[in-house]
Amino acid sequence: MTKFLRWFRRLGIPVVGLLFYGSLAIVYPEHLGETPAWGSLRADTLAALALGTLFAFFIFEAGIALSRWLDRHMAWQQQPLRRVGLQVGLQAGGAAALAAGLGAAFAHAAGYDRAAPVLFVDLLPLTLLGLLTAFLLAGVYVGASFFAYWQAEVHTREAAQRQVLEAQVHALQQQLDPHFLFNTLSTLTAVIEDSPPRAVTFVQRLATVYRYVLQHRHAARVPLGTELGLVKAYLYLLQTRYPEGLEVELAIPETQHARLVLPMVGQLLVENAVKHNRIEPDEPLLIRIRTEGDWLVVENTPRPLAHPAPASTGVGLRNVQQRYEAAGATQPVRIERTPEWFRVSLPLLPGGAGRAAAWK
């Protein structure tokens, strides 16, 4: 965009300046001669060329400055009709006034207003040139802005798709991680010996986790109710492993189940809580999952490890924030740390409607 504007100035300013000079020759032909003396160095010719250059310079610079100011305060992507109308109106009014003002200044300097006052109709060609230039500038700038926005959207979409794929691969790798399998199979062995019916349920929940990853590995968004199915299955595995050291509170009304979230984010936050906190029978780790307006809140009581685990190299909280930003969330992911809670609030994404299908 910056390179385009630089070349746009270099080519546009001399062209518009010469057009303004030509308009002066049309409005005041007897002063500049019957045919414009392009090679003449007469004072009136130089004055007309100078005014044309000034007109083009100010129109271009003012138009670009106005566009950049509007980009910060009224992005045309969000309010396209209002933005384009306001930009065209301001640029057209400013260009017409500047063209008429410079024409009147030239008339005064050349002595045209001594015999009779210069009327607005006399300056009409210059005013029309100002309007035409303003419309051209506004159209070119909006077109260039749209092209730049489209390119940025394509890159953002590609980055979001890469992040989703990375998260899906990470989730699958986590479930296939040797430590996860070892702990899960060890727990399953103990459950089989203690209670075969519970072992069947345990295997079913484990299958649910894997089935979710396989079924939704290409999904950009999933209903909250579907994500809760994964979270509940994952929590069952954890609570079977830590029967007295892990407490869970789920408070999500069914009316929120159709709202959309990114896949596997809820499971990731639960996994993060278990990974970075102590789980002890005499000091249980409490995990609460709830909705609060347009937010999904996952929070846990802080139980820091005596020897914190090394930083994860996979998808962490920062990647979750980037994924939500790339997904077009209206609010950023919020991370809060207090003495009582470590809280992550995820904005519920637009698009969910109706009733989410049950997924257990």
241: nearest Cα among 200, 272, 266, 274: 274
Q: Is the pLDDT of residue 18 over 80?
A: no
3-state secondary structure of 261: strand
pLDDT of amino acid 310:
57
pLDDT of amino acid 172:
58
Within 10 angstroms of residue 349's Cβ, the number of other Cβ atoms is: 21
Rounded CA-CA distance 55/298 in Å is: 60
List Cα–Cα distances, 146 to 77, 92, 139, in angstroms.
8, 20, 10
Q: Is the pLDDT of residue 187 over 60?
A: yes
- For the question of whether the overall pTM of this predicted structure is more than 0.75, the answer is no
Average pLDDT over residues 303-330: 71
CATH number of the domain located at residue range(s) 177-347 in this protein:
3.30.565
| Helix orientation angle between 2-27 and 43-73, rounded to the nearest 10 degrees | 140
pLDDT of amino acid 243:
87
* pLDDT tens profile 209-265: 888 888 887 788 899 999 999 999 999 999 998 888 899 999 999 999 999 999 888
Rounded CA-CA distance 88/83 in Å is: 8
Average pLDDT over residues 307-312: 58
Averaged pLDDT of the chain: 76
% of the chain with per-residue pLDDT over 90: 21
Among 18-27, 86-95, 189-198, 338-347, the range scoring the smallest mean pLDDT is 18-27
Query: Do residues 83 and 75 make contact, with C-beta atoms less than 8 angstroms apart?
Result: yes
Q: Is the pLDDT of residue 282 over 90?
A: no
Q: What is the dihedral of CA 264, 267, 273, 278, to 10 degrees?
A: -140
Among 41-50, 82-91, 281-290, the range scoring the smallest mean pLDDT is 41-50
Q: Is the pLDDT of residue 62 over 50?
A: yes
Where, residue-wise, is CATH 3.30.565 in the chain? 177-347
List Cα–Cα distances, 206 to 115, 203, 231, 320, 346, in angstroms.
97, 5, 11, 24, 26
pLDDT range class, residue 22, cuts 50, 70, 90: low
Rounded CA-CA distance 224/323 in Å is: 16
Rounded CA-CA distance 15/9 in Å is: 10
Which of 99-113, 159-173, 303-317, 330-344 is modeled with the greatest confidence?
330-344
Q: Is the pLDDT of residue 35 over 70?
A: no
% of the chain with per-residue pLDDT over 70: 64
pLDDT of amino acid 355:
45
Average pLDDT over residues 104-117: 62
